[in-house]
Amino acid sequence: MKKKKSNKKPVKKTAAPPRNSHRDLRGQLVYLLKGGGAHVHFMDALDGFPAGKYGTFANGLPHTGWQLLEHVRLAQWDILEFSRNPKHVSPDFPGGYWPKTPMPPNDRAWGESVAAFQRDLQDMVRLVQNARTDLFARIAHGQGQTILREALLLADHNAYHLGQLVDLRRALGAWPET
């Protein structure tokens, strides 16, 4: 039996463009650090948070908005500084990672904390994006940590507390339901 000839032209195979796995990884880390893939970004949870409720506890929830914001800011700052500064000394755990009061100390403190959070997040993003940063090398002054691990830790920690902020705002009746 003769084989039937096909009228289809052979598909010309082209080589896939070369992939830069380190560049791709950096891109995915930045996406994750900025809240990529989440339904809400960290700034969504902070924007519109009523000033009169910064220090308010909600029934059944352990922290105020101020406590969560400051905790995330302090932990993020510590992770960033550990990642880039061999002389950095981390705060005492756990007390050094939480504000002393449930309310901001003054009217400017919330805005200053938000600005510092954004600035430190951008600094971590720049560290990850920098092609000279070896994501896999052990941090010389650490105990086996790498920049990759620290970036993942930061993204995970921020995401956890983002959920707490959203729950708090819902419980306070201050979350825009859509």
Number of domains in the chain: 1
Distances (CA, A) of 126 to 8, 15, 85, 112: 50, 32, 15, 21
Closest CA to 74 of 87, 90, 63: 90
Q: Which pLDDT score is estimated for 36?
A: 83
Confidence (pTM): 0.86
* Boundaries of domain holding 95: 24-33+40-171
Q: Where do runs of H (alpha helix) occur along the chain?
A: 21-33, 42-46, 65-84, 109-129, 147-171
pLDDT tens digits for range 99-133: 999 999 998 999 999 999 999 999 999 999 999 99
CATH of the domain at 143: 1.20.120.450
**pLDDT tens digits for 135-152?**
999 999 999 999 999 999
Confirm whether 178 is domain-assigned. no
